[in-house]
């Protein structure tokens, strides 16, 4: 199971491109509303989530969690005590943790980027505490995948798909979508 956490003010492309790519790759993806069942993106697109954060149970079926960026979406994600506990549980269990745009700052504030390479949206580098910040679209280091913003949303989705399945599945999905042609 892959959980994508959405809070009011999330960046729509950063959330929904990976959801689409992962579902095309036959992965089980669930959207989780942190600020309610219906959340509104930073560009005023409302999304009805599959469940709310208080309904979630982290167990052995969790492959990955995804934190999209956007403002104030990132701040709203970080304010959630329940989500903070979920991130901690996933980190402790070595699950894949993915964050894009401003959202890697949440991982930095928690100390999860110590000694890792990571990327983020311009201006949030100081929040990637302990990380070696890279200026590339997507960075994967161990169980952490980060991306620098909406322009990297598709690459982010394909990298996550590769991590939870394999490169071949990600490449087949990319070709079926005619991405990068």
Q: Tens digit of pLDDT for each residue in 124-146? A: 999 999 999 999 999 999 999 99
Domain chopping of the chain, boundaries: 2-100+153-177
User: CB under 8 Å to 159, separation ≥6 — which residues?
Assistant: 138, 140, 145, 147, 170
Q: Which of 37, 36, 45, 38 is nearest to 17 (CA)?
A: 45
Q: Which of 121, 115, 108, 27 is nearest to 71 (CA)?
A: 121
Are the C-beta atoms of 118 and 104 separated by less than 8 Å? yes
pLDDT above 90 (res 57): no
Could you tell me the two tokens for 162? Answer: 């590769």
Q: Identify the pLDDT of residue 60.
A: 85
Could you tell me the two tokens for 34? Answer: 């942190």
Q: Candidates 3.40.50.880, 3.40.50.2300, 1.10.10.60, 3.10.580.10; correct CATH number of 2-100+153-177? A: 3.40.50.880
Could you tell me the two tokens for 64? Answer: 């990955």
pLDDT above 90 (res 181): no
């Amino acid at each position: 199971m892959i959980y994508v956490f959405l809070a009011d003010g999330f960046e729509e492309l950063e959330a929904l491109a990976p959801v689409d790519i992962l579902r095309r790759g036959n992965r089980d993806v669930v959207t989780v509303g942190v600020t309610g069942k219906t959340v509104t993106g930073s560009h005023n697109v409302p999304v009805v989530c599959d469940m709310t954060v208080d309904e979630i149970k982290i167990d052995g079926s969790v492959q990955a969690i995804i934190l999209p960026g956007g403002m104030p979406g990132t701040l709203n994600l970080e304010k959630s005590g329940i989500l903070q506990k979920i991130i901690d549980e996933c980190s402790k269990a070595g699950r894949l943790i993915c964050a894009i745009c401003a959202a890697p700052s949440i991982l930095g504030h928690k100390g999860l980027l110590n000694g890792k390479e990571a990327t983020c949206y311009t201006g949030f580098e100081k929040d990637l505490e302990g990380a070696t910040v890279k200026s590339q679209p997507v960075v994967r280091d161990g169980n952490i995948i980060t991306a620098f913003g909406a322009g990297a949303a598709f690459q982010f989705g394909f990298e996550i798909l590769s991590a939870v399945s394999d490169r071949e599945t990600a490449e087949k999905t990319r070709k079926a979508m005619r991405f990068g042609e």
